[in-house]
Structure formats: C-alpha cells, structure tokens
C-alpha cells in the first residue's frame, strides 16, 4: 500500500492570496490525483498530475486557478491561486495502484479563506 504525506493539514488564508499544498508518496506512482471536497459534499476531481507532462484538468477547473507541479514520481503540489471564500474546502491528493486500482489518500488540507 502507498503512504501519502500531505501538508499543510489546515490553513486559514486571506482573500486574494495563494496556498500551495504538497503531497509526498513513499513509492513511485505514475498518476496522482487532486480532489476538492466542498462542505457537506462529495469529492470532486480537480486534475490528474502526470510526471513530465502538464496536468489534465476536469471540466470547471483551470490551470491558472489551480496550477499543479509534478517534478518526479513521488511528489506533487497543488496551488490554489487568488483565493476567495468559495475556495474554502478540503483538498486531497490521491494515488491508485494495482491492476484493479486501490485508492490511497493523503490526510487532507482543510482550507478556510477569510
């Protein structure tokens, strides 16, 4: 199984600023996934991060707002840019491994924008 270390675990940020969330995996993985979970709702996929290429964004999410880096097979960052209160959510990174893929998640980043 994969162990994912995600940080920060929580932050309170001012409107208009940016926050970068980091995820470190204890093994090499091809794809990493970034999710947003708005209050009281289920997880929504933001983007898929592949090493050596640009991230693939889901409908409704754009690179300017959520830039992603994937410098190697064990690390990725997600930046939430020019934040507004509507960005207040839990952000999670995830990896999947195996032929029938089991999912592993980071500890989550609880973001509050004031």
Give me the residues that bind other proteins (CB under 8 A), please: 1, 6, 9-10, 33, 37, 41-43, 45, 48, 90, 92, 94, 96, 100-110
Beta-ladder partners of 34? 47, 93
φ, ψ of residue 86 to 5 degrees: the values are -65, -15
- What the block records as the tokens of 98 is 């195996």
Task: Name which of 65 and 110 has its Cβ closer to other proteins.
Answer: 110
Residue 41 C-beta: closest distance to other proteins, Å: 7
φ, ψ of residue 87 to 5 degrees: the values are -85, -5
Residue 53 C-beta: closest distance to other proteins, Å: 17
Residue 2 C-beta: closest distance to other proteins, Å: 10
CB count within 10 Å of CB 68 equals: 23
Residue 100 C-beta: closest distance to other proteins, Å: 5
Task: Name which of 69 and 96 has its Cβ closer to other proteins.
Answer: 96
Task: Name which of 66 and 104 has its Cβ closer to other proteins.
Answer: 104
CB count within 10 Å of CB 95 equals: 25
Task: Name which of 74 and 91 has its Cβ closer to other proteins.
Answer: 91
- Beta carbons within 8 Å of 89's beta carbon, 6+ residues apart: 36, 37, 38, 39, 111
């Amino acid at each position: 199984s994969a162990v994912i270390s995600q940080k920060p675990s929580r932050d309170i940020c001012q409107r208009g600023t940016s926050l970068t969330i980091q995820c470190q995996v204890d093994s090499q993985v091809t794809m990493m996934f970034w999710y947003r979970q708005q209050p009281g709702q289920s997880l929504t996929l933001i983007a898929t991060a592949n090493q050596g290429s640009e991230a693939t964004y889901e409908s409704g999410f754009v690179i300017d707002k959520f830039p992603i880096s994937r410098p190697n097979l064990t690390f990725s960052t997600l930046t939430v840019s020019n934040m507004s209160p509507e960005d207040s959510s839990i952000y999670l990174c995830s990896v999947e491994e195996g032929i029938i893929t089991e999912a592993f998640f980071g500890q989550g980043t609880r973001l509050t924008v004031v």
